[in-house]
Structure 1
Amino acid sequence: MRSHPAHWVALGFGSGLSPIAPGTVGTLWAWLTWGLLSQWLNAAQLGGLLAVSLPIAWWASTVTARHLRTADPSAIVVDEIVAFWAVLWLVLPAGWWAQCVAFALFRFFDAAKPGPVGWADRWLHGARGWRGGFGIVLDDVVAAFCTLLVMALWRTW
């Protein structure tokens, strides 16, 4: 992890090194850090952080996957972090239970990869270089979109 700054970012500052469910641990880390960041930043600043984080996640995923010589290592969790930050940015100020529902939905879409999430995962699966890094991030962004869609439908009922 210490051999390159991209590894710190891609591995979620160590959260992706969990031996059990690294994607879930990375998403929990995202939830915790978003809660801390929202204490100091307003919604516009959080949106700016999110906009900057997406290309950084792409870069870090690309570099780390290349160094690990694996197309999509499970230890890379920056994609979960940035995608779940997007979910939280758009659903907050939701209450605790709504955040739990968002967490559960996001983890479902990310792990089970139904419909469009599976398509996004297969589209660049196994790609190397910048296309591979983009593929690592893309399926989680689509999972975030699906989570937000279900949350929006849920809130309208």
Structure 2
Amino acid sequence: MKIQPQRTWIWSRPERALAFGFGSGLSFRAPGTVGTLYAWAFYLLFEILFSTHTIAWIIAVGAIAGIWICGKVGEELGVPDHGGIVWDEFIAFWLILFMIMPTDIWGQVGAFLLFRFFDAVKPGPIKTIDRYFKTWQPKVERLDQPKKIPSWVVRGFGVMIDDIAAAIATLLVIAIWVRVF
């Protein structure tokens, strides 16, 4: 069943609101970029409200929960990696900011631009990861075999992992930049 998400549908369940980045995923243009901007704003708020330890827990729990959030909402929509699902961008960009902060606004802008590049263009291994999970098909199960991992788990992991790979690539470029310059 394919659903065209509307604001009322998104806000009717917490996992949908999270998956769509508190509405940022409804953007008609570049929902991933808009979602990343929302994530940035939330992270800056986190820095005011929470300790570093608490922020680390938010990111870790959000990443694990993201498998369920993205997998289940994608399943509801009938599109495993729907463009409006931006929770993966939230977690990936929070991870980047967690690793580079404190830094000035230009460091944050550079991290934002690098992450959006890696997430949108998906060079090398990021594209391979993305393609693998987008084309993944569950194996046909026989009744006499034990139950396999539900497909939403694999698909949810797939939605999350390519953005985590983009975050790692971003952090690698930043580390090289800092080391060289």
TM bracket (short chain): over 0.9
Q: TM-score, normalised by structure 1?
A: 0.97
Mapping of residues 1-157 of structure 1, within 5 Å: 1-127=10-136, 128-157=151-180
SS, match of residue 29 in structure 2: coil
Asked if the contact 1:71–1:126 (Cα under 8 Å) also holds between the matched residues in 2, the reply is no
Post-superposition offset of 1:24: 0.1
State the distance in 2 between where 1:27 and 1:81 align. 6
State the distance in 1 between where 2:117 and 2:175 align. 17
Identity %: 41
State the distance in 2 between where 1:58 and 1:129 align. 8
State the distance in 1 between where 2:12 and 2:33 align. 25
Q: Deviations over 1:58-77 (max 9, x none)?
A: 11101110110012100000
What is the aligned length? Answer: 157
Asked if the contact 1:57–1:78 (Cα under 8 Å) also holds between the matched residues in 2, the reply is yes
Post-superposition offset of 1:134: 0.6
Which protein has the larger Cα radius of gyration, Structure 1 or Structure 2? 2
Post-superposition offset of 1:4: 2.6
Asked if the contact 2:115–2:170 (Cα under 8 Å) also holds between the matched residues in 1, the reply is yes
- Unaligned runs of at least 5 residues, structure 2: 1-9, 137-150
Q: Deviations over 1:105-141 (max 9, x none)?
A: 0000000000121111112114442111110001000
Q: Which moved more, 1:118-127 or 1:108-117?
A: 118-127
State the distance in 2 between where 1:55 and 1:45 align. 15
Higher helix share: 1
Asked if the contact 2:66–2:160 (Cα under 8 Å) also holds between the matched residues in 1, the reply is yes
Q: TM-score, normalised by structure 2?
A: 0.84
Post-superposition offset of 1:44: 1.4
User: Considering only aligned residues, what root-mean-square deviation do their CA atoms show, in Å?
Assistant: 1.0
Q: Which residue of 1 aligns with 2:139?
A: none
- Unaligned runs of at least 5 residues, structure 1: none
